[in-house]
Amino acid sequence: MDAMTDPVRTIAERVRTRVLREGVDLAADDGAAARYAREEVRRYSERALAGAHAQLGDEQGTAREVVASITGYGPLQPYFDDPEVEEIWINAPTRVFIARDGVAELTTLVLSDREVRELVERMLQHSGRRVDLSSPFVDASLPDGSRLHVAIPDVARAHWAVNIRKFQRRIRSLAQLVELGSLPTRASEFLRMSVLAGANILVSGATHTGKTTMVNALMSAARTGERVVTVEETFELDLDVRDLVALQCRQPSLEGTGEITLRRLIKEALRMRPDRLIVGEVREAESLDLLIALNSGLPGMCTIHANSARDALAKLCTLPLLAGRNIDSSFVVPTVASCIDLVVHLAIDRDGMRRVVEIAAPTGGCTGASVDADQLFIVRGGALVPTGARPARLEKFRDAGLDPEMVLGEVHA
């Protein structure tokens, strides 16, 4: 696949000129871009018949490309339209990759540096965010919910590095994860009970293992009347919840003012009368504010990058120390041990299959600087199976009138 051809670029410029001259708002008139594109393609073909230039091979295809270049994302638009494509990334104008079902593919698409910059600028138009020499990184949400990350030189070596994680609506419930083979029925039912009981759940895994998707699926089991507040760096969560407030961070202005951090958002979220607090991901000192919120009795969930459930707990014990010298492990470790009820750990195999590979339950105790936890489900023989262990703390289940013994049940060797 080639970059935008000269006829497409020429026709697109003519359409833009007409739009500006006639003062048309393409956002308000969905059909205007397609109508102008068809008219300009027809005029281009008429001039070609007169010998002004070569004829178009596919007028309808050219019109679609023109519309994509004006209202969509140009040469990348087919990948946005393809529901099988999960992610798009650009390492260089000649190195454009996509991922289908977790497996990376190098495309035949060839762009120019100018086209990459123009695509990024178009993507950032709706976000109010910027990328320049003073701010060489940017995280933003696209209008369709996809997540954009960009790094530019001289932080990147020679070319703009662009990553787009497409917004996927395919998986919205635990039942769908069961159908896909990511989770067995018994584990799914146990997680459903845990959500209904108001358990504090930590979802862990490496990059692109499906942590956000898991939070979406878990929250599909929440009670209908719950008021949920979500806090994220950029909007990614798409919860099927009736009473929902979604908050995201804000970058500082050119003058260095107006920044809104994750720590600030967590504090503000607590003033919004939440029944459950969801933090998209904890990476730094905001983990302290999350722990304080959970320690007050507010149910919550968050995601964290980690190699195992035990590593996730260890990391959550370390991150709050970044909040300042007055915070030490003698406070953090027991708080994590008492606050976190479950850790759901995810992994992706070489074929791109995402699975739950471990469910662990902290006992509430700690040994030294480590949180004690029992593995409730582990992978054995290629399948996630119960270990026979039971959660040490059942108070939340009992208060909700639930009995996890019904699904943890008898374990067969």
pTM (2 decimals)? Answer: 0.81
CA distance 408 to 391: 10
Local confidence band at 315 (pLDDT 50, 70, 90 cut-offs): very high
H or E segment to which residue 247 belongs: strand 243-248
H or E segment to which residue 39 belongs: helix 32-49
The closest alpha carbon to 289, from 304, 303, 269, 312, belongs to 269
pLDDT score, position 44: 85
CA distance 348 to 327: 35
Answer with the residue of higher pLDDT: 213 or 63.
213
CA distance 89 to 242: 34
Return the percent helix, strand and coil in the chain, to nearest 5: 35, 25, 40
The mean per-residue pLDDT over the stretch 195-213 comes to 95
Residue 3 has pLDDT above 70, yes or no: no
CB-CB contact of 411 with 387 (8 Å):
yes
CA distance 328 to 317: 10
CA distance 306 to 288: 18
The mean per-residue pLDDT over the stretch 236-257 comes to 88
Coil, strand or helix at 64: helix
CB-CB contact of 266 with 309 (8 Å):
no
Q: Which DSSP state fits 76?
A: G
Residue 411 has pLDDT above 70, yes or no: no
CA distance 221 to 241: 10
pLDDT tens column, 105-129: 999 999 999 889 989 988 887 777 8
pLDDT score, position 57: 77
Residue 359 has pLDDT above 70, yes or no: yes
Give the burial class of 107: count Cβ atoms within 10 A of its Cβ; 0-12 exposed, 13-18 middle, 19 or more buried.
middle
Return the number of other C-beta atoms located less than 10 Å from residue 347's C-beta.
Answer: 18
Q: Which DSSP state fits 30?
A: T
| Exposure string over 233-256, b if 16+ CB within 10 A, otherwise e | bbbbbbbebeebebbbbebeeeee
pLDDT score, position 168: 75
| Exposure string over 262-289, b if 16+ CB within 10 A, otherwise e | bbbbbeebbeeebebbbbbbbeebbbbb
pLDDT score, position 326: 87
pLDDT score, position 410: 64
pLDDT score, position 27: 62
Local confidence band at 32 (pLDDT 50, 70, 90 cut-offs): confident
* Four-CA torsion 402, 406, 410, 413, nearest 10 degrees: -90
Q: Which two tokens stand for residue 316?
A: 């959550």
Averaged confidence pLDDT in the chain: 89
pLDDT tens column, 270-284: 999 999 999 999 999
The mean per-residue pLDDT over the stretch 218-240 comes to 93
CA distance 130 to 287: 27
First to last CA, the chain: 53
The closest alpha carbon to 360, from 348, 372, 370, 349, belongs to 372
Local confidence band at 211 (pLDDT 50, 70, 90 cut-offs): very high
Local confidence band at 22 (pLDDT 50, 70, 90 cut-offs): confident
pLDDT score, position 209: 93
pLDDT score, position 269: 96
